[in-house]
Chain A
Amino acid sequence: MAGVAGGNDFQWCFSQVKGAIDEDVAEADIISTVEFNYSGELLATGDKGGRVVIFQHEQESKNRPHLRGEYNVYSTFQSHEPEFDYLKSLEIEEKINKIRWLPQQNAAHFLLSTNDKTIKLWKISERDKRAEGYNLKDEDGRLRDPFRITSLRVPVLMPMDLMVEASPRRIFANAHTYHINSISVNSDHETYLSADDLRINLWHLEITDRSFNIVDIKPANMEELTEVITAAECHPLQCNVFVYSSSKGTIRLCDTRAAALCDRQAKFFEEPEDPSSRSFFSEIISSISDVKFSHSGRYMMTRDYLSVKVWDLNMENRPVETYQVHEYLRSKLCSLYENDCIFDKFECCWNGSDSAIMTGSYNNFFRMFDRNTRRDITLEASRESSKPRATLKPRKVSTGGKRKKDEISVDSLDFNKKILHTAWHPKDNVIAVAATNNLYIFQDKIN
């Protein structure tokens, strides 16, 4: 199933789109994170309004065998509320920065959600029974005379319509001075890490009143600050290994076995800069916006402004693969700097078998790269192609010279439509793509 598109493998087709169609988008509705759970049965999104929406995969129906099951709303809840830090006179936005699912431990599902400051553990559980039979009330709710109670009734549980409840189980607060950019659950299933601009903390999932600082890059004098932490993730298999990326385009891999404070990395991944392409923007565009381990734990992928790189954990001096996401923007960096787009934080993700990767771009385009065939494709998440079962047509951006038919010129790209967050189903070819306030779900076409 390796192929991402084209060729004989399969084609991506539209499955669903969620969210309002209106032209004017409410700020609170903008999706800020997308995440499948470990089985792929649930898909969670967080938005700038502090809400978490969970979609559940419906079983395939017999009547429409050509359709894979769809994702429907399972639960919606307000995870974070706007707050105000009176001591620092700072507003704390409710925007959900990250969602991470916990491995399933019983019939309920658990996820961590975080805004800039506070991480919360939510339990999503089902209830399908209701207690019936009161001592003090009649069936129709009228109160009984307390003096006329002649026997005791024990309530009986009766089936009722399925109800999904989300309840906050733990609140991990007051541990971050700067904005939290990542959370990641450890493979030991009892701890997780949270990273802000300068520090990384390690938490126990059951303990909210303390966390351990494992990385601190804050200089004694803030004027000497030269880099910040941009993302961090735990290794999927080795509980003692985690990585964090920096705004300087480097990645540090740390081993928690070596010392309690991991201020000295075990490995340091950095690609030497090509002096010929050096420019005023070099530093900004080399900043890493996301880092993700492959499911196998052998590789990791980093996203910087113009490219995606795959690193072998055993080779520190350069990536094993580099994919250009939108090289045509290199000539546009000046205007992208002026409209602040150059600071956009694009995320990236692996497919279930680590054979393909996906990341977003502008104009509601997103890119996929097949690691085996080295083929790549640009697709668009748009209302126009959102007819059921419609196959997604590859898009092309003309790079200089004469624009061919079906190509889009760089100048007509819409930089307000950006795809920052995407997620790939852990087993199947199902992807979720967040385009501003809409969530698109695509899947492979079964021939």
Chain B
Amino acid sequence: MAGADGDDSLYPIAVLIDELRNEDVQVPNVSGGGLPGYRSKRSCSSRETFRCLRLNSIKKLSTIALALGVERTRTELLPFLTDTIYDEDEVLLALAEQLGNFTMLVGGPEYVHCLLPPLESLATVEETVVRDKAVESLRKISQEHSPVDLEVHFEPLVKRLASGDWFTSRTSACGLFSVCYPRVSSTVKAEIRQHFRTLCSDDTPMVRRAAASKLGEFAKVLELDYVKSDIISLFTALASDEQDSVRLLAVEACVSIATLLPQEDLESLVMPTLRQAAEDKSWRVRYMVADKFSELQKAVGPEITKNDLVPAFQNLLKDCEAEVRAAAANKVKEFCENLPEENREQIIMTHILPCVKELVSDTNQHVKSALASVIMGLSTILGKDNTIEHLLPLFLAQLKDECPEVRLNIISNLDCVNEVIGIRQLSQSLLPAIVELAEDAKWRVRLAIIEYMPLLAGQLPLTKSLCRVVVYAIREAATCNLMKLVEKFGAEWAQNTIVPKVLGMANDPNYLHRMTTLFCINALSEACGQDITTKQMLPVVLKMSNDQVANVRFNVAKSLQKIGPVLDSNALQTEVKPVLEKLATDTDMDVKYFAQEAISGTRFTLASLHISTKSDLPF
């Protein structure tokens, strides 16, 4: 160990250790009977400082442990940490996390059980995040226990937690059964199963919830016979618990249990409970079923899906509670995708589509918006003819929906419809509605249109209406999208459609719009090439150098610097340079500054041109 000769290398560690302790103790007020007129005068800032220092020390716990050595870490540091569970959540959370990586610092797997006491006390605190982290660390170090240590040290800890007085310790125990079960002897296994059973019927709903949420995980490590004998009865009991918060967690467990069981047992062991959950009196349970529908569908397989889940799904889509309908609507596409191939189309057309049609005109906007985010995906499944006949009217209706989010969700998914029905059909039926949206009152919708414009441009023919969309993009200064458009359609298209609009705005009375011209030119010059830039854009920029607004003038200087590399050296010398020189003597400080910047910038361009001409010379 270092430091025996009294060098100061121990000092930083000494500081860290001193700051580990929780010094900030609120002075209590015990003044006998009566209601004392006491106001707490706790200094928040000092409390905060102490907390930060402690947090810092805890995060460097490995450094402290390293300096102390494995022996003292085991005998002094860990016992101290075990007893300091008074602290703030943040500190405890950091401690719980650190201890999960402490195996080597206490002397390797042989001594890993030393970490159990502090983690055990952390697993009983009231703060869920801390408990969960402690359980996570316990699960981690359980793997580092030898089978013998697991039975001697770890398993007793799980039992202690499982039979603890407070529900906090019992909830923590629920997460630990599955990690020790596979590695212990069959007698201990029987005990673990018994403990789990007890917790599933605990008095407090919290413990039952914890058990229900770990039921699936525990089922996975159990032998199939026990799954059938033990887990199913627990599952059935939890799924009919009096508290809906417990029942809804059983739905989740249903997925993992169903995947474990052979197909022939599903009908008798799982389906009665699942059917009951899908029709539960509580909307929260039905919501959970709707939310987990795709997973359930995969877990129970095609046959049960066809016979049972399709009607259940129909009911969920028609549920009286909007939250449930919205959750189900979200799953429409996935559910249809995962239907058995051979009669998929028939099921969708006769059973699902009628419900979907109703949802399009639902009274609740969340339901409509959930549907709008997935409905376009149906077109790939149903094919061209069905899409045109049945889906397009729905899309159109949603594009015109009063709720902006619905319109937005439809626009964002246009590409998948295009793949199915082709450009012509799409442009004929949807384009008018889309162009209308470019003038939508909600800026988010306009923004979405602009953002999807390059995508739309790939699919829609170059019509006049598209140009109107472009104009809006210019107004909103969506320069980056303009660049993408020009790249897609080429310089000639840009020269005919975009450039005139951009240059037209140079004479706008609003100086912000005039600046937009400059920003667009900055973005477009490279894509448009030297010819258009020199002949059409440059004159406009130069003319704007006389603008009366200084902001415009210094942006001219910036633009000139930006488009410089695109221009030929002749234009730079004869046209750009004089203007920049004039701006460099401007009365406005900023204009002067940017003009000088541009001059040194373009000089660099000139110089590099010069060099490149030189190097072209044959030697």
Binding site for B on A (CB under 8 A): 16, 18-20, 26, 28-29, 31, 45, 47, 49, 51, 53, 72-73, 75-78, 103-108, 110, 123, 125, 127, 129-131, 134-137, 146-157, 163-167, 169, 187-190, 206, 237-240, 256-260, 437, 439
Contact = CB atoms under 8 A, between A and B. Distances in A.
A73 B8 contact: no
A295 B244 CA distance: 21
Nearest to A74: B30
13 contacts: A18-B33, A73-B36, A103-B204, A135-B18, A136-B14, A146-B14, A150-B6, A152-B13, A152-B14, A155-B18, A239-B243, A257-B244, A257-B283
Interface string B5-20: 1111011011101101
Contacts of A188: 205, 243-245
Contact of A78 (B28, B39, B167): B39
B83 interface: yes
A157 B80 contact: yes
B205 A154 contact: no
Interface centre among A19, A51, A104, A149 (most CB of B within 10 A): A149
A129 B84 CA distance: 9
Nearest to A237: B242
Nearest to B12: A146
B322 A260 contact: yes
A260 B321 contact: yes
Interface residues of B, number: 67
Given A154-B72, A188-B245, A73 B31 contact: yes
Interface of B: 3-8, 10-11, 13-15, 17-18, 20-23, 25-26, 28-40, 67-68, 72, 76-77, 80, 83-84, 86, 124-128, 166-169, 204-206, 209, 242-245, 280-284, 320-323
A29 B37 contact: yes
A257 B26 CA distance: 44
A165 B26 contact: yes
Given A131-B84, A155-B21, A73 B32 contact: yes
A134 B83 CA distance: 17
A131 B22 contact: yes
A165 B125 contact: no
- Interface residue SS majority, chain B: loop
Nearest to B7: A147
Contact of B320 (A127, A134, A149, A259): A259
B80 A106 contact: no
Given A149-B3, A260-B322, A154 B68 contact: yes
A154 B76 contact: yes
Nearest to B38: A76
Contacts of A153: 14, 17
A127 B86 contact: yes
A154 B321 contact: no
Contacts of B39: 51, 78
B206 A189 contact: yes
A206 B244 contact: no
A97 B468 CA distance: 60
Contacts of B29: 76
Given A149-B3, A165-B26, A45 B35 contact: yes
B80 A156 contact: yes
Contacts of A240: 244, 282
A257 B243 contact: no
Contacts of B3: 149-152
Contacts of A130: 25
Nearest to B21: A131
A441 B420 CA distance: 79
A260 B283 contact: yes
Nearest to B37: A29
Nearest to B10: A149
Interface centre among B13, B25, B28, B205 (most CB of A within 10 A): B28
Contacts of A154: 17, 68, 72, 76-77, 80
A266 B5 CA distance: 80
B17 A135 contact: yes
B166 A75 contact: no
Nearest to B81: A154
Contacts of B204: 103, 189
A437 B242 CA distance: 43
B124 A73 contact: no
A32 B277 CA distance: 45
A258 B4 contact: no
Contacts of B20: 131, 155
Contacts of B320: 259
A212 to B, nearest CB: 10
B86 A125 contact: yes
A143 B406 CA distance: 68
Contact of B168 (A47, A77, A106, A157): A106
A181 B182 CA distance: 53
Nearest to B31: A73
Contacts of B284: 256-257
Contact of A157 (B6, B83, B281): B83
Contacts of A237: 242
Given A19-B35, A147-B6, A156-B80, A257 B205 contact: no
Contacts of A189: 204-206
Contacts of A26: 37
Contacts of B34: 18-20
Nearest to A71: B33
Nearest to B29: A76
A148 B209 CA distance: 55
Interface centre among B77, B168, B243 (most CB of A within 10 A): B243
A30 B126 CA distance: 33
A73 B209 CA distance: 36
Nearest 6 A/B pairs, CB to CB? A135-B14, A257-B282, A131-B21, A154-B76, A106-B166, A146-B11
A259 B283 contact: yes
B35 A437 contact: yes
A129 B168 CA distance: 22
Contact of A190 (B14, B30, B205, B281): B205
B6 A239 contact: no
B35 A47 contact: yes
Given A77-B40, A190-B205, A257-B282, A149 B33 contact: no
Nearest to B20: A155
A77 B41 CA distance: 10
A127 B28 CA distance: 11
B38 A51 contact: yes
Contacts of A206: 128
B125 A72 contact: no
Given A45-B35, A76-B36, A165-B86, 5 more contacts: A53-B36, A73-B31, A136-B15, A189-B205, A439-B35
Contacts of B15: 135-136
Contacts of B128: 206
A258 B36 CA distance: 48
Given A73-B30, A125-B86, A257-B282, A163 B25 contact: yes
A202 to B, nearest CB: 11
Contacts of B167: 105
B355 to A, nearest CB: 20
Nearest to A70: B33
Contacts of B32: 72-73
Given A106-B125, A190-B206, A29 B18 contact: no
Nearest to A130: B25
A239 B29 CA distance: 38
Nearest to B245: A188
Contacts of A131: 20-23, 80, 84
Contacts of B35: 18-20, 29, 31, 45, 47, 51, 53, 76, 437, 439
Contacts of A260: 283, 321-323
Nearest to B86: A127
Nearest to A137: B18
A155 B22 CA distance: 11
Nearest to A16: B33
B365 to A, nearest CB: 14
B168 A152 contact: no
Nearest to A73: B30
